[in-house]
Amino acid sequence: MDNIFKPDKRIHLDEKNHKYILDDNKDIVFTSVTECISQYFEKFDKIKIAQKLVSSHPKYIGMTMDELIAKWDKSAISGTIVHKEIEDYINEKRQPNHQKSKIAIKWLSKHLMNSKYKLFSEIIVFCEDLRLAGTIDLLLYDSVNEIYTILDWKTNKEISTKSFKGKTGIKPETCDLPDCKFTHYSLQLSLYRYLLEKKYNLKMKKLIIAHITEKEVKGYVAPYLKNHIFLIIQKILGN
pLDDT tens track for 208-235: 999 999 999 999 999 999 999 999 999 9
Please name the amino acid found at residue 2.
Answer: D
pLDDT tens-digit readout, 14-46: 988 889 999 999 999 999 999 999 999 988 766
Q: For position 1, what pLDDT does the model report?
A: 38
128, part of any domain: yes
153, part of any domain: yes
136, part of any domain: yes
Low pLDDT (below 50) residues in the chain: 1-2
Q: For position 3, what pLDDT does the model report?
A: 59
CA distance 59 to 199: 46
230, part of any domain: yes
91, part of any domain: no
Tally the domains of the chain.
1
Q: What is the DSSP string of 40-51?
A: TS----HHHHHH
Torsion of the alpha carbons at 17, 87, 183 and 46, rounded to the nearest 10:
-40
81, part of any domain: no
CA distance 207 to 184: 13
119, part of any domain: yes
CA distance 195 to 203: 11
Give the predicted TM-score (pTM) of the model. Answer: 0.90
7, part of any domain: no
Strand partners, 120: 139
230: CATH:
3.90.320
CA distance 215 to 128: 41
Strand partners, 20: 13
Domain span at residue 175 reads 29-42+96-237
DSSP annotation of 192 reads H
CA-CA-CA-CA torsion sign (168, 169, 171, 177)? negative
Task: Give the three-state DSSP class for 198.
Answer: helix
Task: Give the three-state DSSP class for 18.
Answer: coil
